[in-house]
Chain A
Amino acid sequence: MTDLIRPSRRGLIKGAGAATLAAGVGMPAISRAQADVIRIGHLTPRTGFLGPLGEYAVMAVDLAVEEINAAGGVMGRKIEALKEDSVNPQTASTKAERMIERDKVMAIVGEISSASCLTIAQVADRTKTLFINTGGNSDALRGKDCKKFMFHIESQNSMYVKTAGRSLMQQGLISGKKIYSLTADYAFGHDLTSVAKRFMTANKGELVADDLVPTDATDFSAYLLKIRNAKPDLVISNLAGNQITNFLKQYSEFGLTFPVAGFGFDTALAWAAGKDNFLGTWPVVWHHLIDTPKTKAFVAAFTKKYGKPPENQAWGDYMMMKVLAQSIAETKSTDSIKLMEHWEKGAKFDLLKTREGYFRASDHQMMHEMYTVTAMAPAQVKNQWDIFTSSAAVPGANESLEIIATTPEEASCKFPT
């Protein structure tokens, strides 16, 4: 091809176009760094059905790194985050391996999918590198699948269920009531439903039906007809991702009026449902309306940078970068074992809430306050973000933070030695 030797203008444009395309599709955003930075790996799903939440996580990491470095870094060293799309459990584990072995990251932060958490944790344990889960909820990760080098800033399913459950008990919607639940038909949904069932049995709620909903189902009309026929006292969503948005939009479309609540939730899904469709009571690990100065500062900084408030997934990844930086400064070390000991001894962290949190040594779960949010009537809503009101922090100020977490009987973790 003579074109290769003397490229025509047309060929050049084509080539440039193709190259731009290839660069956009194939190249992960890795920037090579100097030796004196502290490198932290960040893996989270950025495509697929958890991608929307992953995007918030990435925005939050960028903000946290920017703030830490602007304040002079940690021990005089800058923080650098290597961020990649974890895609699926297999890819997540390959990328974790590469980050640890080739890029020498001191820790890996991130994830939303519980299945990917597990494969990354296996790599972390083998290479003795810390992995801190910021978004995977399953109790199994803190129970039978727990790992010495895996910590969790994201709450476990039990904490979500007990937080929302407490609010539902106060509303008189559990004890002696007929409950209908919809469950996302994959690992997370199944784990959540088993925890929810345990809660309902313990509190004398009667589960009249539990429908498994395929993850790629978008239409809920069939379920809505069944729910209407069953006349439950409460409809529980154990759904995930866009399912929640679809469910909320169609629930209001069909005009059903049974009270709705959920045991798994992300603020972004409520925002997507919109003020006219969002309803019910839902648990969150954090939300942008918490009335503390630290939360207000974070929300202001995030909104300034991105033009929209952070959702709960952003909190997890932002917070964990801050916790890591603080811990490195406190231990004067980036060594995984030293950090782990520091955390296991009960180091306290300001998590933008009213009380400080700490990692529980027995299963490495962060013990911290949670909240339930309740949809506001559309007429009271002033903007597209502030569409719910919040409960007080759960547990209450005079209670142990551990009362909403799993008990040793519910889930026991034996770290492999």
Chain B
Amino acid sequence: MTLFLQQMLNGLLDGVYYLLIALGLSLIFSLGGIVNLAHGAFYALGAYLTIVISPYLGFSGAFVAAPVAVALLGVVIERLMFRRFYRSDPILSLLLTFGLAMVAEQALRWYFGAPPLSYSMPRELRGQIFIGDFVYSYYRTILLVVAAACVMAIWLLLNRTSFGRVVRAGVQNPDMVGALGISLQPYMTAVAALGIGLAGLAGVLLAPIYAIHPAMGQEIITPAFVVCVIGGLGSFWGVVAAAILVGLVKGFMVAIDYSAGSIAAIYFLMFVVLLVRPRGLFGERIQRFE
């Protein structure tokens, strides 16, 4: 396999790391209209919890416990904070979550210290997979499977269950849902917990391969937003497609030997998409935001 093809394939897989973050962001935005700038902080918390939990329950224990803990925190934050802002100007919730992100980052710095902490991949997950000349890490294939499973599970939840029907109706027309005698409140809480739990899961999954430091949330939130905007805020498959596209563009820049521009390229992509199609690739019309 030529290096060019290898880079494109790697890029294709690369985008998936943003997917779990972007999907949660998109979910919370489409139901509550909240742009959650603190989403990266939950990702960082997931990674830190992995360090805390692993000595007791191992990586597999952290894999289950950390996202659940983060999701429970999500419930608290939704009940105490997000709830007050569903009907107000989005700029207010933006300020709220912006502040929350800073508080969370400083709290991590205060509790765990500013220097990055070490966390190593469990031995049994180490190793590589070779496909011709192409080499890929065994761990990352697991990561891809988990991400794909999450995407499928969320799609099924939204499209094949009564829960999903109410959520989708709430996205389109919350007043009508209310008129039908359904309280959206518990659904809002569940969606926020789900979205935030996904960020926590991403934190667990990336802890073995990325540096763990208090500002790691900031690092990932910007590209995750880019993915959301390109895909169209609130669009499920849009986010999935955009994550893959962003990865491909990055891979392409490295493949043509211009790695210095690999990050700039994804912003350029967003720029072009917004110019040509301000709703994003698959952005749907949402009555409330028209």
Contacts and interface: CB of A to CB of B under 8 A. Distances in A.
B119 to A, nearest CB: 7
Contacts of B137: 221, 250, 253-255
A226 B254 contact: yes
Interface in B217-236: 219-220, 222
A287 interface: no
B106 to A, nearest CB: 7
A398 interface: no
A46 B214 CA distance: 12
Interface string A23-35: 0110000000000
Interface string B1-27: 001001100110110010000000000
Interface in B99-120: 102-103, 106, 109, 113-120
Contacts of A268: 115-116
A226 B3 contact: yes
Interface stretch (A48-56, A89-97, A400-408): A48-56
B2 to A, nearest CB: 9
Contact of B209 (A47, A211, A253): A253
A154 B102 CA distance: 32
Contact of B210 (A212, A249, A271): A249
A377 to B, nearest CB: 14
A218 interface: yes
B197 interface: no
B7 A222 contact: yes
Interface residues of A, number: 48
A272 B118 contact: yes
A45 to B, nearest CB: 10
Contact of A221 (B10, B214, B215): B10
B173 interface: no
Interface stretch (B90-98, B158-166, B185-193, B257-265): B257-265
Contacts of B17: 219
A216 B263 contact: yes
B133 interface: yes
A273 B118 CA distance: 5
A292 B111 CA distance: 33
Contacts of A219: 14, 17, 210
A242 interface: yes
A349 B130 CA distance: 55
A201 to B, nearest CB: 22
B262 A246 contact: no
Given A214-B262, A219-B17, A222-B10, A242 B118 contact: no
Contacts of A271: 115, 118
Interface in A193-249: 211-214, 216-219, 221-223, 225-226, 228-229, 242, 245-246, 249
A380 B169 CA distance: 60
Contact of B118 (A52, A246, A384): A384
B152 interface: no
Contacts of B126: 253, 255
A103 interface: no
A214 B260 contact: yes
B118 A216 contact: no
A272 B113 CA distance: 12
Contacts of B13: 221
A212 B128 contact: no
A24 B104 CA distance: 13
B135 interface: yes
Contacts of B106: 24-25
Nearest to B255: A222
A242 B209 CA distance: 12
A318 to B, nearest CB: 16
A120 interface: no
Given A217-B263, A276-B121, A229 B3 contact: yes
A255 B10 CA distance: 16
Contacts of B208: 249, 253
Contacts of B14: 219, 221-222
Contacts of A213: 259-260
A49 B260 contact: no
Contacts of A48: 215
A4 interface: no
Nearest to A229: B3
A272 to B, nearest CB: 4
A394 to B, nearest CB: 26
B55 interface: no
A274 interface: yes
B58 to A, nearest CB: 15
A185 interface: yes
A126 to B, nearest CB: 32
Contacts of A56: 115
Contact of A222 (B109, B222, B262): B262
Given A272-B118, A276-B121, A253 B139 contact: yes
A153 interface: no
Contacts of B134: 225
A274 B135 contact: no
Contacts of B254: 222-223, 226
Contact of B135 (A47, A225, A250, A276): A225
B39 interface: no
B116 A55 contact: no
Contact of A272 (B128, B135, B212): B212
Nearest to A268: B115
A55 B121 contact: no
A46 B114 contact: yes
Contacts of B114: 46, 51-52, 54-55
Contacts of B117: 272
Interface of B: 3, 6-7, 10-11, 13-14, 17, 102-103, 106, 109, 113-121, 126-128, 133-135, 137, 139-140, 208-215, 219-220, 222, 250-251, 254, 259-260, 262-264
21 contacts: A51-B214, A52-B115, A55-B113, A212-B260, A213-B260, A214-B260, A217-B263, A218-B219, A219-B14, A221-B137, A221-B140, A222-B7, A222-B11, A225-B3, A226-B7, A249-B208, A253-B208, A254-B128, A269-B211, A272-B212, A276-B120
Closest 8 CB pairs of A and B: A274-B118, A272-B116, A212-B260, A245-B211, A55-B114, A222-B254, A276-B120, A242-B211
